[in-house]
Structure 1
Amino acid sequence: MFTPSATSQTNTPLPSLIAGDFPRVTRKVTIASGAGLLIAGTLLGRITASKKMVKSASASSDGSQTPNAVLAETVDATAADAEAIVYFTGEFNADQLTLGTGHTADSVRDGLRDLSIFL
């Protein structure tokens, strides 16, 4: 799993995040206020009630426990909602993803494959 450093917090995806030539579909989404500073490569889930995204954690019970997108750029949603670009499809290096508590590359791999996100 990728561990962020001060030098990795840019607004562009990590060069080694992208793997292969599988088509990548991107979209602008809203990251929920309070989600904090999220770096490119963070695995996101969608909160069912608000449709906003946060870092996916397996113990969540608001819908965000199910990963469904990869953050394409670093975003700070500490104090307010923020817009960010995410990948809804693509092939990514598992060791460059930032996974929430309770998730591992192996635990999310099959569910992501169903969404055309490949690790």
Structure 2
Amino acid sequence: MSMDLEVKKFSYSPEYLLAGTDIRVTTAVKKAGADLKVGAPVKLDSSTGKVSPVGKSDGVAALYGIATEDFKADEEAVIYLTGEFFADRMALETGVTAASLEVAFRNIGIFLK
């Protein structure tokens, strides 16, 4: 039996979505209406009760929260409803910007940094 005594260097650079603890983080569980990526702003479909990513043409009227992790369609998805988040860590659809969602997020208790 041989031992590997070579010095190895490891590093880990986590990508944090949560930006602070000044505001209480709350979550809800909703069924995913489409695949979701961690950090994706989501909208709630009032007729189905499912959440899906916010697209460029959606506007901000149905903005609901932010996906906590990756979810497949029809899975139970945990969604952040309040808290502070890094805008540059969000998974945005093409044509959607954090700046365009900032005020609407603030109105529902989500603050972008």
TM-score normalized by the length of structure 2: 0.77
Q: Secondary structure at the match of 2:105?
A: helix
Q: Are 1:31 and 2:32 an aligned pair?
A: yes
Letter paired with 2:41: L
Q: Secondary structure at the match of 1:89?
A: strand
Deviation at 1:102, TM superposition (A): 3.0
TM-score normalized by the length of structure 1: 0.74
Aligned partners of 2:31 and 2:111: how far apart in 1? 23
Alignment match, 1:51: 49
Percent identity between matched residues is 31
2:78 to 57, 77, 85: 85
Ranges in structure 2 where 5+ consecutive residues have no aligned partner: 1-13
Write the deviation string for residues 27-62 of structure 1: whole angstroms up to 9, x where unpaired: 111111xx13x221111001121121000113148x
Q: Quick check: 2:44–2:52 contact (8 Å CA) kept in 1? A: yes
Matches within 5 A, 1:1-119: 15-21=15-21, 22-32=23-33, 35-36=34-35, 38-60=36-58, 66-77=62-73, 81-119=74-112
* Count of residue correspondences: 98
Ranges in structure 1 where 5+ consecutive residues have no aligned partner: 1-13
